[in-house]
Amino acid sequence: TQLLEQSPQFLSIQEGENLTVYCNSSSVFSSLQWYRQEPGEGPVLLVTVVTGGEVKKLKRLTFQFGDARKDSSLHITAAQPGDTGLYLCAGDKGGAQKLVFGQGTRLTINP
């Protein structure tokens, strides 16, 4: 049973389009992180959201943490080929810093 469900698992769109990736759970997390992973590399942290309802922006990327701290979304505006990669959400249940990862969303942006 996957504690964090990401959708879609695969997404291939054209350059310039917008997209949203979802990360859902029935569990409450004290914080939730989004990572991006390139082939052959380890995941790299993009953002951490902590407060229910929080919205963080990183250039064309907008991250939102659900009010109940059970879900999150990543929205990319005007996607570019450089956005291609595996996007992972990870939840922290507090204290132990033990991260639970979703299965990832493989994003491909076509020129």
Partner 1 sequence: GAGVSQSPRYKVTKRGQDVALRCDPISGHVSLYWYRQALGQGPEFLTYFNYEAQQDKSGLPNDRFSAERPEGSISTLTIQRTEQRDSAMYRCASSSGQGGVYNEQFFGPGTRLTVL
Q: Note the residues at the interface with partner 1 (CB under 8 A).
A: 4, 6, 30-31, 33, 40-45, 48, 50, 86, 88, 90, 92, 95-104, 106
Preceding amide of 8 cis, omega within 30: yes
- Chain length of the chain: 111
Please state, in angstroms and as integers, the Cα–Cα distance from residue 105 to each residue in 5, 60, 94, following that order: 10, 18, 24
Nearer to partner 1, 40 or 111 (CB): 40
Largest CA distance in the chain: 43
**Closest approach of partner 1 to the CB of residue 40, in Å:** 7
Nearer to partner 1, 19 or 92 (CB): 92
Nearer to partner 1, 82 or 95 (CB): 95
**Closest approach of partner 1 to the CB of residue 53, in Å:** 18
CA distance 11 to 49: 24
**Closest approach of partner 1 to the CB of residue 73, in Å:** 17
